[in-house]
Amino acid sequence: MSTKGIDVSKHQGTVNWSHVKADGVKFAIIRAGYGKQASQKDTQFEDNYTGCKSNGVPVGVYWYSYATTPAEAKQEAAVCLSVIKGKTFEYPVYFDIEEPSVLAKGKAVCTAIAKAFLETVEKAGYFVGIYSSRVHLENCITEELRARYAVWVAHYGVDKTTYHGQHGIWQKSSTGKVYGISGNVDVNECYVDYPATIKKKGLNGFKTASAKPAKPAKPAQAAPTKKWVKGQAVKIRSNTPLFANETATTPSARLSAGTYYIYDGVPCKLGRYRITTTAASCGKKPVGKFVTGYVSWDNFK
């Protein structure tokens, strides 16, 4: 099953994205810019990005390349990253290689140029891909690189692309008509659920869905600062929690302020001591009759 999408740049002018969505467009790839200068940011990029986000249209970007060397491709990647910084993209960041003078340099050079851009952007935390025509992808980019990254292939005038290789998006026409856009627009079909993959991996500005935080363990009771002995009188603070045993987490009662006595002077778990109400009851059996309960040492004063 495929989903309908479009790709746009400043050449489509001002786009009415609410109308575009109403026409059944499920995603958009927008041009972020071209070349290696910050001034070459697409003049409609910000408006297109905002329009997609405000109308719930999942979005990706592409960068049109003029790079003739891997070094220039890295420069383009740096500018691209500066333009898209702080934004989120449900679809990949594509390297658009289609300049005739660049493609004429052959497969080895074109592949090295594309690889330099893709690796740079990928290392910055983005899901990346490559765009070009069917003929140029097959003849100017190695099969190894095309298998490694997402592929967006342009192939017009056919009912189904005959591109040889894996690909996620097929650009099938440059003369599409979409409500909300004056003139022609590129139309695409996507076969991959890029949003799910990108969000799950925490790429393209998204954060990974963190697991539900574990309930913090109850901090261990600090060791008593002194030792209390059998029969010793201690004053209890008002509203002191009284526990039924040495590991209970919920108090069985609350004690009023007053004087109590250390039953046997044996420290229990969680820093608790057994107490009783009179000195004469200390150490007497059965325990259940004479022990009032367990109290944490830090309530003694």
* Domain range summary for the chain, segments of one domain joined by +: 3-201, 233-299
Q: Which residues pair with 243 in a beta bridge?
A: 294
Q: Which two tokens stand for residue 44?
A: 């409609």
What is the pTM assigned to this prediction?
0.70
> From the CB of residue 204, how many other CB atoms can be counted at a distance below 10 Å?
24
- Superfamily of domain 3-201 in CATH is Glycosidases (3.20.20.80)
Element (H, E) at 22: helix 17-22
Evaluate the omega torsion of the peptide bond into residue 195 and state whether it is cis, within 30 degrees of 0. Answer: no
pLDDT value at residue 113: 98
Residue 273, φ and ψ in degrees, nearest 5: -125, 150
Cα 16 from Cα 12, distance rounded (Å): 11
Enumerate residue ranges in the chain where pLDDT < 50: 211, 218-220
- Residue 224 has a pLDDT of 60
Q: What is the pLDDT of residue 239?
A: 85
CB atoms within 10 A of CB 263: 23
pLDDT at 301: 77
What does the pLDDT read at residue 211? 44
- Name, in order, each residue with C-beta under 8 angstroms of 191's C-beta and a sequence gap of 6 or more: 1, 2, 167, 168, 169, 170
Tell me which residue of 292, 296, 289, 230 sits closest to 263, measured CA to CA.
Answer: 230
**Is 173 strand, coil or helix?**
strand
